[in-house]
Chains A and B, each alone.
Chain A
Amino acid sequence: MYKVRHFFYQLTQRLIKGPPIYYAWILFLLALIGIGAYAYAQQLKQGMTVTGLTDQVSWGLYIGNFTFLVGVAAAAVLLIVPAYIYDFGPIKEITILGEILAASALFMCMLFVTVDLGHPERVWHLLPIVGTPNFPSTLLGWDIIVINGYLLINIGIATYLLGMLYLEKPENKWIYMPFVLLSIPWAIGIHTVTAYLYNGLGARPFWNTAIIVPRFLASAFCSGPAISIMAFQLIRKFTRFEVRDEALFKMAEMVAIAMGLNLVLLGAEVFKEIYTDTWHKAPILYLFVGLHGHSALVKWIWISMGCNLLAFILFLIPTTKKNHVTLNLACILIVIGVWLEKGMGFIIPGFVPTPLGEIWEYWPKTVEILVSLGILGFGLLHYTLALKIAIPIETGEMRVLGTLPVSKNGNKGLRGLIKNLYIKIQGIVNKDIPIPR
């Protein structure tokens, strides 16, 4: 019991105390969440008419963000594969951070779907016994299962590993490795199922092509790791956690390959529609050149193409990849590019033109933007707080039974040796750790 109380004591201490920038950040996020909550209250009060959605374009910013964030959740798997399959040391140390990012992204996904519903209080209709889920025919049901499953797997693995580190017990490979290995196809699964959501609709020829499945995977493997790269550099700066440059560069390499694939697949899709020249080319035309004078998305998609291409080149050339300034620039460009291409640039053209040939454009209104920012704030808050706990556990600053401050070298060197001995002796005295044989 004492240990549990001590754990919660340490937890609260870690969450509340931090450098001033930490307070500023948390306050900023709370303000964002507050604004988002207020905007959502307006939406609940007046109905979805406060959004820019219409019968013609019935999905918009919320579902676009949801699609993008499911891609970000791939950040975890891109770290797990080199870490555990290829045993690449520098990345193995940082997989947990990737998993936490994935968990935050998945929370945001679920929130975006919830705010998009007309009756969010009726979500329990989706649950198996109390409601009537239309399983297995509906892909939203599958999506919920895979997303929640992946969330649980990530949280489970992260909690287990961090917990074992915290309790200073050795990790049991047989407990967590099966889940780690499961999470690789499962991560492919969440992107595939999200792509199937759109793919399975014969009514929308823009989505009804098989190529969107590999495109989703490719753009997922770009956006998630790009955010991770930036996040890791921030973590390296603000905490004592060590992230080696090799890890970042390896991730950048994989992003480059993924972006290359994404561009090739995009080219294939555009070629197919433009060359075949049937009526189904209308959404692509709307996206890239405008249709019958409607061209709201044209400049955004070209910006996105530019960002993607530039980022691809920056990631590809070794000199720019290794230069931190260009690396970060490329990451930002990729996030912007993929968000435009996979978020709004994917959802809206699916509805233009409508199955009966109408062309109506969509632009998000203030309420939608504020709610999206609020959810983004929530996700970042979760990420920050989770890291505030995870990183001290990783570096050794937070351990069961006492938190001796860690030196600059971490647990290495003479001081670390003495500290470890001290902790062990304390444990033996308190009869918590068995006497090592």
Chain B
Amino acid sequence: MIKFNTWKKQIPFILMCLIYTGAFIDVSAAQKEPEVKTVYPVPPPAHKEREAEEVFPVVPPFVIRGLFPCQACHRKGIRKESREIDRNNLFFGKYFKSPNLKPRILSRMHVNIKLQHGEFQWCLNCHATDERNYLKLINGDIISLVESYRLCGQCHGLIYRDWKSGIHGRRVGQWNGKKLYLLCVHCHDPHSPKFRKIMPKDPPRRPNYGRWESVNSIK
């Protein structure tokens, strides 16, 4: 401890201590509240993305015959047309002038398609209501099945970003040249995209295969 003869000689020391402490307090207060002004980025205008989106040369999707083109059945005036073609085999039921937009599980047609894609989904979330051959995006765009990656990319943004760089999914082709871009639907069934389990190939042979086995035991 520093010894002083009189209290007067202690004053410079006390002043120094106060100044240092004050400086620390000042500095720490400054660190807690920075005085930098932040600016929020301007949100992008609507439909601006259409030009900015990259278009990828993809392998065209496969479609199930009999179900595609959808607009063979799902179009305006189909009731009238079908009445004209075949009087006996009319559409009966609840096919009114406009499609039924109520989310429900279908019971008459497309019962083979099990929709197990997230929760609270139903067909017309993705399939365009009026142009049934196409898909629709959240911002209102109507896209063809060849561009279906944009639809998937709306929700699966990180995977979409990876797929655009080529690091999602199976790679076939040249690592230093032309790459093959597959659509999402080439691997993932859009209606129930979770991969099913598959049979694995055989395990490796044990090293004691065909050898004297009294000491080597099977793990």
Contacts and interface: CB of A to CB of B under 8 A. Distances in A.
Partners in one complex: yes
A233 interface: no
B120 interface: no
A292 B212 CA distance: 20
Range of interface residues on chain B?
A: under 10
Contact of B208 (A293, A359, A360): A360
Nearest to B207: A54
Interface string A17-35: 0000000000000000000
5 contacts: A52-B212, A54-B207, A294-B217, A358-B219, A361-B216
Given A52-B211, A360-B219, A363-B216, 14 more contacts: A54-B207, A55-B207, A56-B207, A292-B219, A293-B217, A296-B215, A358-B219, A359-B219, A360-B208, A361-B215, A361-B216, A361-B217, A363-B215, A365-B212
Contacts, number: 23
Contacts of A296: 215
A360 B212 contact: no
A210 B132 CA distance: 74
- The majority secondary structure among interface residues of chain A is loop
Interface string B183-219: 0000000000000000000000001100110011101
Interface of A: 52, 54-56, 292-294, 296, 358-361, 363, 365
Contacts of A294: 217
Nearest to A359: B219
A59 to B, nearest CB: 14
Counting from the closest, the 8 A-B pairs by CB-CB distance are A54-B207, A363-B215, A296-B215, A361-B215, A361-B216, A360-B207, A56-B207, A359-B219
A167 B215 CA distance: 58
A56 B204 CA distance: 13
Contacts of A361: 215-217
A358 B211 CA distance: 18
A371 to B, nearest CB: 17
Contacts of A56: 207
Contacts of A363: 212, 215-216
B183 to A, nearest CB: 37
